[in-house]
């Protein structure tokens, strides 16, 4: 009986500890998501919302090529940004973990987080200054005599969006990879080399597989938010660099068609979820095959 009472007290304490975070998650995550799903099955005529259940919004998305084009472009941009960011972040994280003295690692991590001290919007505008027609890159190349006229393909297109997003999300990729690399037992690397493996072979067969959880985390942290980013495409993309998030923003704030915007958001979310789950499944299958 006493044991049962103790168990009940523990359960009560656990419920109290989890109660507030659960309510917080429901109010700020589940309820808004449920509202978006519900809205996607309604229709709106300017200020009047018709709550009759309908799949007209999803049929319009399927029938209109523009939405599919924007979604494909968004997935392509997010994929390229993720690949570029993770490929550049891994060597940085590896260098800090394996080649920087332990007493100086905190300084390096501090330097990596410095961009967070400024507003994301300010960083985007700084990239406009760097990539602009009379910006830093074009002015420098003109003075060096490398080009005769300013480059036009580095701003107000998809290339500018990719460059800006890759820079903005770089710290989010470096930090999880660094954390996993720090947890790798160095004796495993020494044992591999004692058995005749080269440093490069040790990296491929030991370090890289053990660091894959950090790589997966970095990929998901970068890939998922970039789909929903509309500030960077709006400021850097020009007419040919708009993404699905810009169309969602247009439907909600300019065309006053919240149900269609909600449906677009649900479709984009489902695509991102499916791609993320497939990536995680393939990664687990790869790691299982390595073992």
Q: Which position has the token pair 């160095």? A: 186
In a domain, 95, yes or no: yes
In a domain, 17, yes or no: no
* Domain extent at residue 173: 51-290
In a domain, 41, yes or no: no
In a domain, 27, yes or no: no
8-state DSSP, 40: T
Locate the DSSP E strands across the chain: 43-45, 48-50
In a domain, 6, yes or no: no
- Say how far apart CA 239 and CA 36 lie, in whole Å: 28
In a domain, 184, yes or no: yes
Q: Is it the case that residue 87 has pLDDT exceeding 50? A: yes
Q: Using only C-alpha atoms, what is the Rg of the chain?
A: 24
Closest-CA residue to 227 (of 267, 176, 255, 175): 267
In a domain, 194, yes or no: yes
> What phi and psi values does residue 50 have, to the nearest 5 degrees?
-95, 115
- Say how far apart CA 78 and CA 75 lie, in whole Å: 5
Give the global pTM: 0.87
In a domain, 23, yes or no: no
HEC string of 223-269?
HHHHHCCCHHHHHHCCHHHCCHHHHHHHHHHCCCCHHHHHHHHHHHH
Looking at residue 222, which CATH number applies to its domain?
1.10.3720.10
> What phi and psi values does residue 148 have, to the nearest 5 degrees?
-95, -25
pLDDT tens-digit map of 176-200: 999 999 999 999 999 988 888 899 9
Q: Count how many domains the chain has.
A: 1
Q: Is it the case that residue 39 has pLDDT exceeding 60? A: yes
Average pLDDT, the chain: 89
- Say how far apart CA 226 and CA 156 lie, in whole Å: 17
In the predicted model, what is the mean pLDDT of residues 116-130? 89
Q: Is it the case that residue 140 has pLDDT exceeding 80? A: yes
pLDDT class for 35, splitting at 50, 70, 90? very high
Q: What is the pLDDT of residue 219?
A: 95
């Amino acid at each position: 009986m006493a044991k049962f009472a103790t168990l009940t007290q523990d359960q009560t304490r656990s419920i109290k500890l989890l109660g507030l975070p659960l309510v917080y998650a429901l109010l700020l995550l589940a309820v808004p998501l449920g509202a978006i799903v519900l809205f996607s099955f309604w229709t709106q005529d300017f200020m009047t919302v018709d709550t009759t259940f309908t799949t007209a919004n999803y049929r319009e998305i399927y029938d209109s090529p523009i939405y599919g084009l924007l979604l494909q472009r968004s997935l392509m941009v997010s994929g390229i940004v993720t690949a570029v960011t993770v490929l550049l972040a891994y060597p940085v994280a590896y260098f800090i973990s394996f080649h920087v003295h332990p007493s100086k690692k905190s300084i390096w991590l501090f330097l990596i987080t410095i961009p967070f001290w400024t507003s994301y919007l300010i960083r985007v505008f700084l990239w406009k200054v760097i990539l602009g027609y009379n910006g830093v890159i074009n002015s420098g190349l003109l003075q060096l005599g490398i080009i005769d006229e300013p480059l036009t393909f580095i701003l107000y297109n998809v290339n500018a969006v990719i460059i800006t997003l890759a820079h903005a999300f770089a710290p989010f990729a470096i930090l999880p990879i660094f954390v996993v690399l720090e947890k790798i037992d160095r004796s495993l690397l020494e044992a591999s080399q004692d058995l005749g493996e080269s440093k490069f072979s040790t990296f491929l067969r030991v370090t890289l597989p053990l660091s894959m959880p950090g790589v997966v985390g970095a990929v998901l942290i970068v890939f998922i938010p970039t789909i929903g980013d509309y500030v960077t495409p709006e400021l850097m993309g020009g007419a040919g660099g708009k993404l699905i998030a810009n169309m969602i923003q247009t439907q909600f704030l300019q065309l006053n068609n919240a149900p269609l915007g909600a449906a677009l958001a649900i479709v984009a979310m489902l695509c991102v979820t499916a791609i993320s789950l497939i990536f995680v499944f393939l990664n687990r299958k790869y790691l299982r095959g390595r073992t």
